[in-house]
Amino acid sequence: MSTRGQFNTKNPTIKRILKEASELASNASPDYHAEPLEDNLFEWHFTLKGPPEPSPYDGGIYHGRIVLPAAYPLRPPSFRFLTPTGRFEVNREICLSISGHHEETWQPAWGIRTALVAIRSFMDTDAKGQLGGIDCGASVRKKMAAESGPFRCGACGRSNSEIMAEREEAAKLYEATSGKHKEEDVPEELRLAYRDELGNSKSDPQSTGAAVATSSNSIDSEGQVNADSSSQPRPATVQAKEQPVRTAASTSRAPRPTRTTQTSRVRRGQSQAFRRDADHGLAWIDACIYGVVAALLFMVLRRFV
């Protein structure tokens, strides 16, 4: 039995969730679908097709869960796949710019449909150590795609193939009555955020350590070039290139102040400023008292003289 009527429909979050559920049900897509559970509006289940050829996910149908926060859409939802994909770990929250791991890149204007289109487009990218992502060969992903159709979710009670067949029929009916379905585009801001994540993940500690080891072989502990390399005459261009290396090496050895030190300095400066303000206020009060006493003495002396 559905319990959606038990929610406060005047709540902005509930209104937004019901609106998105109605829109996804009426404006069907043959490539993906999502709907909330009958007993919990904040937990959705989604089903989507893999990207088309030449993607190794072509022909695959994947199922997963979406958990909406209480502050949705101000805060992003979280996603996890229940079907093996070879791209995302099973039943583990994935880390994308549209998910709860990156609230700073989420925009309330985006919704479940936007997120599904984005996830589908992200499947062909490499994990690169991303949280919830895995790297598999194309043959493994093709095998998982071929085996994904019969997967049956216990909460939904239908297989992936049955769900997508139903949505394909609904999409054909929608096109016959309302025209061709307009596909959702991945927002450019979302694409840029994901590119930034890939760029950050590529600078892993191993490559950084290899670069440091290479530079340490050519520079000794005092920042000078070893005698083996300095004994040979070098062109001026090579010497000019080595100068920034020495500067970078010496800069990397300099100790950096910790955040604790900076915080203590700021607190010390604030306390000193507060003390100066307090001293200034006390001096002003003392001056007023002295003025009042002097005025009283003057009035008394004037009366008796």
Instruction: Kindly give, in sequence order, each residue whose CB lies less than 8 Å from that of residue 140, ignoring residues fewer than 6 positions away.
Output: 86
Place of tokens 């159709």: 149
| The pairing of beta strand 32-37 with beta strand 78-81 | unpaired
Alpha helices by DSSP H, listed for the chain, are 12-26, 112-122, 138-147, 160-178, 188-202, 205-218, 227-230, 236-253, 259-304
Place of tokens 């290396």: 245
CA–CA dist 73, 42 (Å, integer):
11
Distance of CA 90 to the CA centre of its chain: 20
Which residue among 95, 136, 156, 288 is the active-site one?
A: 95
User: What DSSP string describes 37-105?
Assistant: ETTEEEEEEEEEEPP-TTSTTTT-EEEEEEE--TTTTTS--EEEESS--SSB-BTS----TTSTT-GGG
Residue 167 near residue 174, CB atoms below 8 Å: no
Residue 77 near residue 195, CB atoms below 8 Å: no
Residue 136 known to be catalytic: no
CA–CA dist 298, 292 (Å, integer):
10
Burial code (b: 16+ CB inside 10 Å, e: under 16) for 20-54 equals: bbeebeeebbbbbbbbbbeeebbebbbbbbbbeee
In the sheet that holds 78-81, the strands lie side by side as 32-37, 40-49, 61-67, 78-81
Q: Which residues are catalytic?
A: 95
